Amino acid sequence: MLRLYNTLTRREEPFAPAQGNTIRMYACGPTVYARAHIGNFRTFVCVDVLRRTLKHVCGHEVRQAVNYTDVDDKTIAGAQQAGVPLRAFTDGWIQAFREDAAALGLETPEETPRATDDANLRAMSDLVLALERNGHTYRRDGSIYFRISTLPAYGTLARLDREGMQDGARVDVDEYTKDDPRDFVLWKGERPGEPSWDFGTGPGRPGWHIECSAMALRLLGEPPIDIHAGGVDLIFPHHENEIAQSEGATGKPFARVWVHVEHLFVEHEKMSKSLGNVYTLADVAARGHRRSALRYLLLSAHYRTQLNFTWTGMDQAEEALRRIVDCLARLDEVPPGDAHVPVLEAVAAARQAFQSALEDDVNTAAALAAVFDLVRDVNAAIDARTVSATDAGVVRRAIEDFDRVLGVVGLRQAEDARPPMPVEEIERIVQARQAARQRRDFAAADRIRRELAERGILLEDNPGGTRWKKK
């Protein structure tokens, strides 16, 4: 049986769905104002592995919602800077996210709501009004705030010391006036130049926290939902506030299990724009690495440990993945014949170890160790000529089953099978880059270079012009 670490209780607990065989799961999705970075994708890949574990190891059905935060301070500022309407601005980033998610082999969740869809804005407004009816709110200058002193359980998830929370500096600070610095905004009153809606709250826009509570409750049914997930930075205030809103409105617990993924670091430093160490998938590809290797790296450590991204680590991930793929290729060459008991035993042991590892709080590091034990045993048996085509089928099926959860081998095979780009298209893109350089638009030129690198084409600028070659 699966055991999952629950941030709410700070313990590993046996896990089963509350209703029937279906897991109702919500994961906070990206804020769509820029390309998501590989740190964001660590969380999304780990949540994807959890989803696949629930389906393929535990045999559950999964109903998962992952939202797009398409209205907040950053998206509004981005749209203003770009001079386009908010919805058009976030459309582009949603598309970019979908492409990256597909390239990393993320399964598409059953629900991918946008906060600004009418049905969701309506649900947010209704939730705010329910909180108002239940006496958890106050209004100030057109905005509506959650008064946390009305909810004694506030702070349970983050284990906040209620007295210690008096210091407003650490709490959700924004420019709006609040009675108490710990209070947070539910609905932001209308401001010039900002989008505004009114479904009964008065004109304005939703606060970030209410978006997730409302979409989770609308799309996943009666609370409590089974699992709520996100990165560790969301525990406070975001998830604490989501709980306050949902429980304050419904009077029922919001989520049974809270799963939090630790951060990705880069060369031992926290990934941040100011340090210039924020990498996107395109940056990783530009260094000649494939998405399958990145996915491998992101899931290679247990999700509750910090993971340090290095280029050496990427090389090792490439190498590890190659070992699995090479072993599969060797299996295609073995002669026909009867099964060999030691090979069958190695497969059975690997299956057992793989399952136990994932049932132990989704321990992907141990699950991969089980895969590599099998690869090592099979390689040794091939060297000793004690593997037949019958055995090969059994090993291949096991690795296919493992890959239903890991999703790296299939991704690599799909990358290998992709046809190269037509030469005319490369030439056309190189010309477009040349034109960008001539008008001194180096940002565009760089972007084109990166995009080509991502598709396996490297450019070399010489005095006589630009040459391209296959990676």
Give me the residues that bind Zn ion (CB under 5 A), please.
Answer: 28, 212
Report the alpha-carbon angle 39-104-454, nearest 5: 90
Name which of ligand AMP, Zn ion, none residue 39 binds, using a CB cut-off of 5 to 8 Å depending on partner kind.
ligand AMP
Within 117-199, residue ranges assigned H as helices are: 118-133
CB 306 → ligand AMP: shortest distance, Å? 9
Name which of ligand AMP, Zn ion, none residue 182 binds, using a CB cut-off of 5 to 8 Å depending on partner kind.
none
Do residues 139 and 146 lie in contact, with contact meaning Cβ atoms separated by under 8 Å? no
| Residue 309 or 354 with smaller CB distance to ligand AMP | 309
Name which of ligand AMP, Zn ion, none residue 209 binds, using a CB cut-off of 5 to 8 Å depending on partner kind.
none
| Residue 105 or 231 with smaller CB distance to ligand AMP | 231
| Residue 6 or 137 with smaller CB distance to ligand AMP | 6
Name which of ligand AMP, Zn ion, none residue 263 binds, using a CB cut-off of 5 to 8 Å depending on partner kind.
ligand AMP
| Residue 30 or 189 with smaller CB distance to ligand AMP | 30
Determine the residue with CB nearest ligand AMP: 231
DSSP 159-184: T--TTGGG-GGGS---SS--SSTT-E
CB 83 → ligand AMP: shortest distance, Å? 23
Name which of Zn ion, ligand AMP, none residue 212 binds, using a CB cut-off of 5 to 8 Å depending on partner kind.
Zn ion
| Residue 212 or 328 with smaller CB distance to Zn ion | 212
Say how many CA atoms lie within 13 Å of 336 toward its Cβ. 0
- Report the sign of the C-alpha dihedral through residues 345, 346, 347, 353, in that order: positive
Which helix (DSSP H) or strand (DSSP E) does residue 415 occupy?
helix 409-417
- d(CA 43, CA 231) in angstroms, rounded, equals 6
Cα separation of the two ends of the chain: 45
Residues 6+ apart with CB under 8 A from 446: none
CB 146 → ligand AMP: shortest distance, Å? 20
The candidate with the shortest Cα–Cα distance to 429, out of 458, 396, 391, 463, is 458
What is the number of residues in the chain?
Answer: 471
CB 242 → Zn ion: shortest distance, Å? 6
Name which of ligand AMP, Zn ion, none residue 233 binds, using a CB cut-off of 5 to 8 Å depending on partner kind.
ligand AMP
- Residues lying near ligand AMP in the complex (CB under 6 A) are found at 28, 30-31, 39-40, 42-43, 69, 230-231, 233-234, 261, 263-264, 271
| Residue 62 or 261 with smaller CB distance to ligand AMP | 261
Which helix (DSSP H) or strand (DSSP E) does residue 89 occupy?
helix 86-103
Do residues 40 and 261 lie in contact, with contact meaning Cβ atoms separated by under 8 Å? no
